[in-house]
Amino acid sequence: MKLQRLKPRLQVQKKPEQKTVGNWRSGKSSTQRGYGYKWQKFRLKFLQLNPLCVYCQRKGLTVEATVVDHITPHRGDMVLFWKNGNHQSLCQSCHSSVKQSEENQIF
């Protein structure tokens, strides 16, 4: 005897599609966006010199940084991408939450 399959009671809501028209990232690989070998070398050196998350430090916490963040989002501007003083070390958690919230409020 074959069991009857039940229909789901909950309807899954799809996220609204993000528009990528005019987005500086659309259709580009990470290397094309500037995150190739040169960036990987820079990132490693920067994290060696700045090993702690600056956001966590402000809260009195000592947390290892794993992300080199652009303080001012470069949006594909390679001059701003490499500008001295436009980088900070963040932990993954702060980069994915606090920093993204800040950027969404500004831009």
Per-residue model confidence (pLDDT) at position 21: 53
Answer whether residue 33 shows pLDDT above 50: yes
Answer whether residue 13 shows pLDDT above 50: yes
Alpha carbons 81 and 60: distance in angstroms, whole number: 29
Amino acid in the structure at residue 61: L
Per-residue model confidence (pLDDT) at position 57: 97
pTM: 0.69
Q: Give me the numbers of helices (H) and strands (E) for the chain, helices first please.
A: 5, 2
Alpha carbons 13 and 20: distance in angstroms, whole number: 21
Structural tokens at position 71: 């303080």
Task: Give the dihedral sign, CA 13/25/27/23.
Answer: positive
pLDDT, mean over the chain = 84
Alpha carbons 99 and 76: distance in angstroms, whole number: 18
Per-residue model confidence (pLDDT) at position 43: 96
